[in-house]
Amino acid sequence: MASWILENWFEIESIPEIIVGGFFIFMKHRKSVQSRRAESLKQNMEKLCFDEQTVKGLHIINYEQDWYNRTFHESGNLKFLIDKALSYLSYECYLIEIHYITKKESLTFDYDLRRACESRSVQSYLFNLYHFSKTKCSFQYLIDYGFKHNIIDKDFLDCKSFKYPHYLIGNPLDEQILIRFEEPTSAVG
């Protein structure tokens, strides 16, 4: 036994050194990942606070009550500003969903996400896009965020809901009127 210990001394002695070295490598890697995450979070915050178009879009969402109306989809610049702001917010929701942004880090975006989801115009716009696309729409992560935090109610899922205006999908009352006034087809014999 003593001869085995002497023969393998260098191998036995190197095990604690490998463990300590591995620990230091792990800590350095962890610090590097944290630094990259912090830089990414900083870039996201800068976009939210200092990108002129995103800031304008968020201002419209937060402070202009009824911007979503029949003319919105032909409005050009207004639609572009709103779409840019909502795309950015939906991207943040995506990063939260895949856990790239931690729950604690997501608090920095929570105010803007909640304000957007609480906006009557945003809900109406998302409702129309959601039902017009008939699949998941481009702002799906923002919609999911609204449902997850009980900001958007279940009426949103009903395409015939009268709670939201029907600018892209047609008014359910129009469909009922058309059905009532359709002439019966005659049977060919």
Q: Where are the domains of the chain?
A: 47-181
In angstroms, the CA 67 to CA 78 distance is: 9
In angstroms, the CA 144 to CA 146 distance is: 5
Mean pLDDT of 59-78: 89
Q: What is the pLDDT of residue 52?
A: 94
Between these two residues, 186 and 3, which has the higher pLDDT value?
A: 3
In angstroms, the CA 22 to CA 44 distance is: 33
Evaluate if residue 80 carries a pLDDT over 80: yes
Summarised one tens digit per residue, pLDDT across range 88-97 is 999 999 999 9
Q: Tell me the whole-structure pTM to 2 decimals.
A: 0.74
Evaluate if residue 29 carries a pLDDT over 90: no
Summarised one tens digit per residue, pLDDT across range 144-186 is 999 999 999 999 999 888 888 888 866 555 544 334 334 445 4
Mean pLDDT of 105-113: 91
Summarised one tens digit per residue, pLDDT across range 120-135 is 999 999 999 998 887 7
Q: Where do runs of H (alpha helix) occur along the chain?
A: 2-7, 9-50, 52-63, 77-97, 103-118, 120-133, 140-148, 172-181
